[in-house]
Amino acid sequence: MKRMVLIAVALAAASLPVTAAQLTARSSGVQGIKAGPGNFYASIGKLRNNERVTVERCTRQARWCLIDQLDSGPSGWVDGSYLIGSPAKNAVTPFEFSFDPLWPGRGMHKH
């Protein structure tokens, strides 16, 4: 029962509105902006070192993040590991349970 309450609280917190300040991150080095979430997509621009961006959404584990440049440069996908700003990435990354919520006693690992 306690786990179900914790799950409900986590899901409710995830649905709270996010302020623009939380969605701001910066680039930790020069990096390419891609047309999609992966290195196999075309390059459409670059971020400069320490350039601030708005993070729109991220893939699982924030591997790739969709960004908007604050200086009107191209929007696109960047490698999430090169973005500094955990609150921004966490706010737009899909939540992943560390256990199966339908079977709390079972872990998510495979045997």
Q: What is the CATH number of the domain that holds 40?
A: 2.30.30.40
The domain containing residue 103 runs over which residues? 2-107
> Which two three-digit tokens encode residue 52?
């601030």
Number of separate domains in the chain: 1
Torsion sign, CA atoms 29, 33, 73, 75: negative
Contact indicator for 66, 57 with CB cutoff of 8 Å: yes
Mean pLDDT of 48-70: 90
Which residues, in sequence order, are bridge partners of residue 52?
26
What is the band of 38 on the pLDDT scale with cuts at 50, 70, 90?
very high
pTM above 0.75, yes or no: no
Strand order in the sheet with 43-47: 43-47, 31-34, 76-79, 64-69, 52-58, 24-27, 83-84
Q: 74: exposed, middle or buried (C-beta count within 10 Å: 0-12, 13-18, 19+)?
A: middle
pLDDT tens for each residue of 43-54: 999 999 999 999
> Would the pLDDT of 57 be above 80?
yes
- Stretch among 19-28, 55-64, 72-81, 98-107 having the lowest mean pLDDT: 98-107
